[in-house]
Amino acid sequence: MTEAPRSTSISRRRFLQGSGLAATAGLAGCLGGSGGSGLDELNVAYMPIYPDMQYFVMEEEGLFDELSVSVSGKKFSDGPSIVQASATGDFDVMMFGIVPAMIVMDKGIPAKITAANIKNAMQILATDDFAALWEEHGKDAFAEFEAQEGRKFTFGTFPPGSVPDILLRYWIQNTLGLDPEEDVNIKGLGGAAAVQQALLSNNVDGTSIMEPVPTVIDANDAPFQSIAWAGDFMPGQPAAVTLMHDRLRQDNRDLATEFVELHRQATNFVADNPDTAAQHASSVIGESALPVETARAALDSPASDFITDPHDIEGGAEIFADYAQTLGKTEAQLTVDEMFDYGIYDSL
């Protein structure tokens, strides 16, 4: 079940605290602001997952107050839900998976990627029992599982067309040489909360998922472990990105530059202040779902590789573009030029 979006308004209500980010003060003035642009608010779509960590930091550290306009954030459980909502063209910024971003661009909504959020973000989890089969049989473990259990191994992950779904299919087909339609069963469950619940209740045998879910699963002593990491089989694997509508990216270039600069400041903040970043993640996701200590442990995962530079994911983006088109998620195979606007980041 898809979680209903929740709106939050971020006003100019916070003063920068002693966080190491005070250097961003006066940023809007230095960059020229958006005076006379006609935009008096940025509408941002985001997800409560670690690949959107920069949003958590920008919100909780009060960095949005440094923009020359106010920010209104809307939370979605998964990327395909943002794709559906994007049809109205209301969002100026969408922070979500690169495959849903491709789908938005392929649908003709004028937008491009101006920043990456994270790379190498996906873990493939499986039950401890299957992990033992995997250790002994490798890719043949799926056939061995079916022979023993009388059914196919079932992955539960984000909906079709999401990054976890596409990455899982890529791994099965291109890394293992198996057929994701014939050799396993893949179920689209919804967002991170739905996947996490399915794992904790043992309703699936495995998943493709990003942090903090693997760390939450481990903290709850659920019988799952990682059997593969995207950084090993697709180094530089893109996950969430920052997609900007052309009315911001082109028509309000100074404001777009302000946002990407704050994004970069947030990326650096996570690296320099992981304890505080963990508190922010717990706050935004919800402390009952993600206690601070679990949030902090998740930052030590190799899947928590936060970046801003969009150049870092170019190679993986080309792979995903090819795979998305092959699977029919996009009508055309998008080129690098069609997907990315490097100019804003390069100008910082």
More confident residue, 308 or 81: 308
How far apart, in Å, do the first and last CA atoms of the chain sit? 41
Q: What single-letter DSSP state applies at residue 201?
A: T
Tokens of 253: 């270039």
Please choose, from the candidates 229, 259, 273, the residue with its C-alpha nearest in 3D space to the C-alpha of residue 10.
Answer: 259
- Cα dihedral value 270, 274, 275, 278, nearest 10: 60
Burial pattern 56-86, b for ≥16 Cβ within 10 A else e, equals: bbbbbbbbbbbbbbebbbbbbbbbbbbbebb
Q: What is the CATH number of domain 122-232?
A: 3.40.190.10
Please choose, from the candidates 320, 316, 339, the residue with its C-alpha nearest in 3D space to the C-alpha of residue 329.
Answer: 320
Mean pLDDT, the chain, rounded, equals 89
- Residue 30: pLDDT above 80? no
Residues 168/180, Cβ–Cβ less than 8 Å: yes
Number of residues that make up the chain? 348
Lowest mean pLDDT among 109-118, 161-170, 239-248: 161-170
The DSSP line for 74-92 is EE-SSHHHHHHHHTT---S
Lowest mean pLDDT among 180-184, 188-192, 301-305: 188-192
Q: What single-letter DSSP state applies at residue 107?
A: T
Contacting residues for 228 by C-beta, under 8 A, at least 6 apart: 123, 124, 171, 175
The bridge status of strand 185-188 relative to strand 6-10 is unpaired
Highest mean pLDDT among 28-37, 188-197, 238-247: 238-247
The ranges assigned to domains in the chain are 41-120+237-347, 122-232
Contacting residues for 88 by C-beta, under 8 A, at least 6 apart: none
12-28 per-position pLDDT tens digit: 333 333 344 544 434 43
Distance between CA atoms of residues 246 and 252, nearest Å? 8
Secondary element (H or E) of residue 111: strand 111-116
- Residue 9: pLDDT above 90? no
151-160 per-position pLDDT tens digit: 999 999 998 8
Residues 344/113, Cβ–Cβ less than 8 Å: no
pLDDT mean over 164-180? 95
pLDDT mean over 71-82? 91
pLDDT at 287: 94
Task: State the pTM of this model.
Answer: 0.86
- Residue 39: pLDDT above 80? yes
Do domains 41-120+237-347 and 122-232 share one topology? The answer is: yes
pLDDT at 191: 87
pLDDT at 37: 52
More confident residue, 271 or 22: 271
Sign of CA dihedral 292, 295, 297, 299: negative
Q: pLDDT-derived band of residue 78, with 50, 70 and 90 as boundaries?
A: confident
Residues 345/267, Cβ–Cβ less than 8 Å: no
pLDDT mean over 247-275? 97
40-58 per-position pLDDT tens digit: 999 999 998 999 999 999 9
More confident residue, 161 or 344: 344
Q: What is the CATH number of domain 41-120+237-347?
A: 3.40.190.10
Percent of the chain clearing pLDDT 90 (strictly above): 81
pLDDT at 24: 41
313-340 per-position pLDDT tens digit: 999 999 999 989 988 999 999 999 999 9
- Residue 1: pLDDT above 90? no
Q: pLDDT-derived band of residue 177, with 50, 70 and 90 as boundaries?
A: very high
